[in-house]
Amino acid sequence: MQFSLPLNAPVLTRDAATETGGDALGNLPEWNLDDLYTAEDAPELNADMSWLEENCAKFAADYAGKLGGLDASAMLACIQTQEEINQKAGRIMSYAGLRYYQNTMDAGRAQFMQNCQEALTEYTSHLVFFSLEFNRLNEDHLAGLLAENADLARYKPVFDRMRAMKPHQLSDELEQYLHDQSSVGAAAWNTLFDETIAGLMFNMNGEELNLEATLNFLTDQDRSKREAASHELARVFGENVRLFARVHNTLAKDKEVEDRWRKMPSPQAGRHLSNHVEPEVVEALRNAVVAAYPKLSHRYYALKAKWLGLETMQTWDRNAPLPMESERLVSWDEARAIVDGAYGDFDPRMKEIAAPFYDKGWIDAAVKPGKAPGAFAHPTVANVHPYVMLNYLGKPRDVMTLAHELGHGVHQVLAADQGEMLSSTPLTLAETASVFGEMLTFRKLLDGAKDQAERKVMLAGKVEDMINTVVRQIAFYDFECKLHAARAEGELTPDDINALWMSVQAQSLGPVFEFAPGYETFWAYIPHFVHSPFYVYAYAFGDGLVNALYAVYEEGDADFQEKYFDMLKAGGSKHHSELLAPFGLDASDPAFWDKGLSMISGMIDELEAME
């Protein structure tokens, strides 16, 4: 049981980019982590460390080899004790991880996080027996315990997910070994990747910039700046591509070895099990999106090429602003007013839940040296509250990012009442509230468009975001599938990985694109491939699900808000089929995904009609 930092939405995939916005953005909030701990040497943190060391050992002494003999009330006490252990460990790693992400170049913060990780790995080694022994319980015996005690029966979804791993668990000794070496295995390679990415510097017009600041030029109105940034990104990625290839080779092989020992049927199977989603559902999603490439990305980018006055587009034109798009910066206060308005119009409770994020130091918005790129919402633990990280630049897409991450935050606050074990939402559903929050914000902005030109810019921006969320992420998923399949056959050179990357890029972006030399290395900076293999399909899952949900909302379901809040409050306590049933939706139906994709193609229809 490794307590690494579980970022439910580690990094948004809009190619978020960074430069200083100056005073025009206003007073950007920063985190106050005191609700976790006040300092590395805080007495409360030291006390929790000591408590964990003592109680992890006590847990093993009290329960190892004895689970089969526990009655229902004793089993409940066992589960609740483990839940308390999880909560204290999660609190410590949340504090260590969030401090680290504020400045990944600070050696002291990195050391503190690693020391915490190693200590908790050592303490929780006593807990490895639990899932193994629990999975050996007789089905009828367990069913009897659940029938006898309603409080214990609440944890059935946790037990179901745990027992789904039963066919794939190893011997007690091997599981103990994997646990003990975890902090110097994949986790160490993840840290190497993070520190390397954070330390990369790019030369733009004689100025040394970090990755975020350089990526920001890919959305500049000036095409020459976009091109220069793309070439500079390619240069630096190319200089470091051997290291990135080593990271990917090692992690993919490490996963292949463990998957083989666990008898996983595919590299993706572990992710599907943790997401509590059937492989055929993911396959239906993937196939629906790939089949829709021509009517989505191919069609939209051909339209965009005309707007930009180009016969063919280069990859640095993909996220270019439209010629008629305003370059006005959106201040932080204005961004808050926009999102608050959208949330409040949907339901006042949404705005109320979001308020403390702004006012109590739950958001870190400013761009700072060494700060991790992108954006995420981290739920921490059920008895504290989430924290949101942004790199806010004042662009319209940054407003949507705020809406997205606050959606995660609202979801995490509502689900926290389920408790530590049941609050965590599978990745396939974790994007629901975030994408829905974006959609609410977008629709409010669209309704307020002052003329057809402004409406066109807004529609185009939303289509691009949805293409990045659906098409781009499924292309990423296909790249990962190819990467892991190829690695199973042997070591991959950087050129091998480059070729796999290009094979999905051409297919997904369409014939209007040309690919200048250097773009083949752009897989190197995507953190999902390193931290969370096969995570990316959750974005497409969430977008498709929300598009279908929003269609139900627009149809005027009188009880929609209550059903929606009930869905968020459920956290991880229900399967996706149970959560969607009140809305009349079924993700296992291939037509479900076509319904969501039709919303995107409908927006493209409207854009074409404006020509």
User: How do the domains of the chain map onto residue ranges?
Assistant: 32-184
Q: Is the pLDDT of residue 9 over 80?
A: no
**Would you call 211 helix, strand, or coil by DSSP?**
helix
Closest CA to 245 of 494, 25, 495, 570: 494
Rounded-to-integer distance, Cα 70 and Cα 473, Å: 46
What's the chain's length in residues?
Answer: 611
Residue 23 pLDDT grade (very low, low, confident, very high; cuts 50, 70, 90): low
Average pLDDT estimate for 357-386: 93
pLDDT in tens, 211-225: 988 998 999 999 999
Compute the Cα dihedral for 460, 466, 468, 474 and give only its sign. negative
Residue 337 pLDDT grade (very low, low, confident, very high; cuts 50, 70, 90): very high
At 180, the amino acid letter reads D
Rounded-to-integer distance, Cα 416 and Cα 43, Å: 26
Rounded-to-integer distance, Cα 552 and Cα 539, Å: 20
Average pLDDT estimate for 258-274: 93
Rounded-to-integer distance, Cα 437 and Cα 444, Å: 11
For the chain, report the end-to-end CA distance as a whole number of angstroms: 57
Residue 306 pLDDT grade (very low, low, confident, very high; cuts 50, 70, 90): very high
Q: Is the pLDDT of residue 124 over 50?
A: yes
Tokens 């070994």 correspond to 177
Rounded-to-integer distance, Cα 32 and Cα 525, Å: 29
DSSP state of 28: -
Task: For residue 203, give the H/E element and its range.
Answer: strand 202-204
Q: Which of 223-227, 369-373, 505-509 has the lowest mean pLDDT?
A: 369-373
350 CB-near residues (< 8 Å, 6+ apart): 343, 344, 410, 437
Residue 397 pLDDT grade (very low, low, confident, very high; cuts 50, 70, 90): confident
Asked if 569 contacts 349 with a C-beta cutoff of 8 angstroms, the reply is no
CB atoms within 10 A of CB 54: 11
Average pLDDT estimate for 383-397: 93
Burial (Cβ within 10 Å: 0-12, 13-18, ≥19) of residue 594: middle
Q: Is the pLDDT of residue 33 over 70?
A: yes
Q: Phi and psi (nearest 5°) for 138?
A: -65, 135
Closest CA to 405 of 444, 376, 372: 376
- pLDDT computed for residue 16 by the predictor: 32
Average pLDDT estimate for 177-185: 79
Q: What contacts 24+ positions apart, CB below 8 Å, involve 441-445?
A: 441/338, 441/339, 441/342, 441/343, 441/399, 441/400, 441/403, 442/400, 443/342, 444/338, 444/341, 444/342, 444/345, 445/338, 445/342
Closest CA to 582 of 599, 567, 572: 567
- pLDDT computed for residue 512 by the predictor: 97
Average pLDDT estimate for 499-524: 96
Average pLDDT estimate for 518-537: 94
Percent of the chain at pLDDT exceeding 90: 73
Q: Which of 89-98, 280-289, 497-506, 590-599 has the lowest mean pLDDT?
A: 590-599
Q: What fold is seen in the domain 32-184?
A: Butyryl-CoA Dehydrogenase, subunit A; domain 3 (1.20.140)
**Would you call 157 helix, strand, or coil by DSSP?**
helix
Average pLDDT estimate for 244-271: 95
Task: For residue 94, give the H/E element and its range.
Answer: helix 72-102
Q: Comparing 17 with 508, which gets the higher pLDDT?
A: 508
Q: Provide the total of helices (H) and of strands (E) in the chain, helices listed first.
A: 28, 5
Rounded-to-integer distance, Cα 364 and Cα 369, Å: 13
303 CB-near residues (< 8 Å, 6+ apart): 604, 607, 608, 611
Rounded-to-integer distance, Cα 100 and Cα 378, Å: 13
- pLDDT computed for residue 596 by the predictor: 84
346 CB-near residues (< 8 Å, 6+ apart): 440, 561
Closest CA to 338 of 409, 438, 410: 438
- pLDDT computed for residue 14 by the predictor: 30
Q: Is the pLDDT of residue 307 over 80?
A: yes
Which ranges of 448-511 does DSSP label H, i.e. alpha helix?
A: 452-469, 471-487, 494-509
Q: Which of 54-58, 327-331, 409-413, 534-538 has the lowest mean pLDDT?
A: 327-331
Which ranges of 393-470 does DSSP label H, i.e. alpha helix?
A: 396-415, 427-430, 432-447, 452-469
b or e along 341-362 (b: 16 or more beta carbons within 10 Å of the residue's beta carbon)?
A: bbbbebbeebbebbeebbeebb
Average pLDDT estimate for 110-120: 95
Compute the Cα dihedral for 14, 19, 23, 28 and give only its sign. positive
Asked if 97 contacts 113 with a C-beta cutoff of 8 angstroms, the reply is yes
Q: Is the pLDDT of residue 15 over 60?
A: no
Q: How many CA atoms lie within 13 A of 162 on its CB side?
A: 19
- pLDDT computed for residue 323 by the predictor: 81
| Mean pLDDT, the chain, integer | 91
Q: Is the pLDDT of residue 11 over 60?
A: no
- pLDDT computed for residue 8 by the predictor: 33
Average pLDDT estimate for 171-187: 82
Percent of the chain at pLDDT exceeding 70: 96
Task: For residue 387, give the H/E element and its range.
Answer: strand 387-389
Q: Is the pLDDT of residue 60 over 60?
A: yes
Q: Is the pLDDT of residue 501 over 80?
A: yes
Rounded-to-integer distance, Cα 350 and Cα 81, Å: 33
Q: Is the pLDDT of residue 132 over 60?
A: yes
pLDDT in tens, 344-358: 999 999 999 999 999
Q: Phi and psi (nearest 5°) for 218?
A: -70, -10
Q: Is the pLDDT of residue 22 over 80?
A: no
Q: Is the pLDDT of residue 13 over 60?
A: no
Average pLDDT estimate for 393-411: 92
495 CB-near residues (< 8 Å, 6+ apart): none
Closest CA to 344 of 334, 354, 330, 357: 354
Q: Is the pLDDT of residue 47 over 90?
A: yes
- pLDDT computed for residue 188 by the predictor: 87
**Would you call 208 helix, strand, or coil by DSSP?**
strand
Asked if 226 contacts 317 with a C-beta cutoff of 8 angstroms, the reply is yes
Kindly state the tokens that stand for 51.
């408590």
